[in-house]
Structure 1
Amino acid sequence: MTNVQRTIKEISEIIRTVPDTDPIFDELKKDGRKGVQKLLDQAERARKKREEEHEAFKALTTYENELRNQGFSLIAGIDEVGRGPLAGPVVTAAVILPEDFYLPGLNDSKKISEAKREEYAAHIRAHAISIGLAIVDADVIDSINIYEATKKAMNSAVNNLTISPEYLLIDAMKLETPYPSQSIIKGDSKSISIAAASIIAKVARDRMMKEYATKYPGYGFENNAGYGTKEHLNGLAQYGITPLHRKSFAPVKELL
């Protein structure tokens, strides 16, 4: 059967299922039908996207690969979510990934859509060696300040790992810890382990804030996650302060 005799539907199935190194693609390139050439163009764009994602993922594993070359295998990435909001906890995650972990497209959680974050979080939970999560509430943040609260949460996340790590990669913070560690500025876009921790922490906190939105309506927590949006500020002015609000943060502080 020649490629002209194949229907567009059949060719679409071939492109979808056959490796792009197969000689059949050379045949299909000679097919003059616009529909076939459109399918080939789409397949080529998809191939280039996969290559770009693969290269980006390789770049994210640089720190981990260097540490594995030094003999470390259980490397925990640590990140926080929620340092800046006016309400809600700061949430941190520590994640140890296996050496063969692969999730193209994984990056800083703030750069990924909510639907993708949920999908990636499920994949990370299914494949991670261990995940530790920690939550520090607003009253603790008010009593010891957000910087110390973040460190407290990060240390707790490490302690909540079911397997002791051998090395810590920490996003932008330095911790007093018994484990050797490295602080990486913007680590969630430079280390796959920190990026994974960013996703886990972000998804966990967003879910919490959506639950809080049903308990404390009128502030838009389901949309703003406690950040100082216009909707949130209007809610503060109309309904006042909730137990979730950080009383040491302006403009909450002014309302007291």
Structure 2
Amino acid sequence: MSRIIPDFSHETAAHARGAHRVVGVDEVGRGPLAGPVTAAAVRLDPERIPEGLADSKTLTAARREALFDRIMATAEVSIAHATVEEIDSLNILRASHLAMERTVAALAPDHALVDGNLVPRGLACAATAIVKGDARCLSIAAASIVAKVTRDRIMVDLAQQHPGYGWEVNAGYPTKAHLEALLNLGVTPWHRRSFRPVHNILYQENSVTH
């Protein structure tokens, strides 16, 4: 099965409809048990598109880092987050949309190309949802790389403050080692209490202590 190569056709189509400032938007971090959800918006310069842009999930960490630097040097970029508290109070889908809304607002585009099948309801401009957009659209691929590298760096920093959970390698996702650490070390302030494995541990602790 041949891999899809992202192209600039979605941006070109938006320009043809009269949009001047077109950005790609993606988020990362819906699945982890810990840490924020991070979104990025990228407006590429058609004359300076970094070679090798692809869905961040298909790239090695070293390749993502190299492309991150090139994107930051050649494009307009915005990064925003939704906190663990917002994830727990809103739900992860709404929190990820909130992060997207924040990152788009910072770049003030007139059209956004959004990864996925839903357009966040609070987006400050017209938008098109593109399923598998990070694999099909260059601006979204760039946004996926920026969001992934940024969030991974955050989790490496948090791992130094809360060692033992393996966040420097699992980025907060529920790996076997992370789940075992949750049981042995307990829940940190960076854990999402609305997520079942974390909630269950807290509930068990409350059952034991009360």
Equivalent in the alignment of 2:109: 165
Equivalent in the alignment of 2:67: 120
Give the TM-score of the pair, scaled to structure 2: 0.90
Equivalent in the alignment of 2:42: 95
Larger Rg: 1
For residue 228 of structure 1, report the CA deviation from its aligned partner.
Answer: 0.4
CA displacement, residues 148-186 of structure 1 (integer Å, 9 cap, x when unaligned): 10111111111222xx21210001131233411100111
Paired letter, 1:123: R
Paired letter, 2:157: E
Equivalent in the alignment of 2:140: 194
Alignment of 1:28-39 (within 5 A): none
For residue 69 of structure 1, report the CA deviation from its aligned partner.
Answer: 2.4
For residue 98 of structure 1, report the CA deviation from its aligned partner.
Answer: 1.2
Q: Distance in 2 between matches of 1:241 and 1:233?
A: 10
CA displacement, residues 52-77 of structure 1 (integer Å, 9 cap, x when unaligned): x9x93xx5211112222223231111
CA displacement, residues 99-158 of structure 1 (integer Å, 9 cap, x when unaligned): 223222211111100001010000000000x21111111111001100110111111111
Equivalent in the alignment of 1:74: 21
Equivalent in the alignment of 2:119: 174
Q: Does 1:249 align with 2:161?
A: no
RMSD after superposition:
1.7
Higher normalized contact order (CA 8 Å, seq sep 6+, divided by chain length):
2
Q: Distance in 2 between matches of 1:124 and 1:73?
A: 20
Kept in 1: contact 2:49–2:74 (CA 8 A): no
Local SS of the residue matching 1:104:
coil
Local SS of the residue matching 1:160:
helix
Local SS of the residue matching 2:196:
coil
Local SS of the residue matching 1:105:
coil
Equivalent in the alignment of 1:216: 162
Paired letter, 2:120: L
| Structure 2: runs of 5+ lacking an equivalent | 203-210
Paired letter, 1:118: E
Q: Distance in 2 between matches of 1:160 and 1:147?
A: 20
Deviates more, 1:87-96 or 1:66-75: 66-75
Paired letter, 2:133: G
Give the total of aligned pairs.
Answer: 199
Judging changes above 3 Å, is the alpha-carbon distance between structure 1 residues 189 and 123 closer, same or farther for their aligned structure 2 residues?
Answer: same
Equivalent in the alignment of 1:141: 87
Kept in 1: contact 2:26–2:143 (CA 8 A): yes
For residue 197 of structure 1, report the CA deviation from its aligned partner.
Answer: 0.6
Q: Distance in 1 between matches of 2:17 and 2:194?
A: 44
Equivalent in the alignment of 1:156: 102
Paired letter, 1:60: D
Paired letter, 2:115: D
Kept in 1: contact 2:105–2:124 (CA 8 A): no
Identify the match of residue 56 of structure 2 among 109, 124, 147: 109
Equivalent in the alignment of 1:31: none
Q: Distance in 1 between matches of 2:132 and 2:141?
A: 10
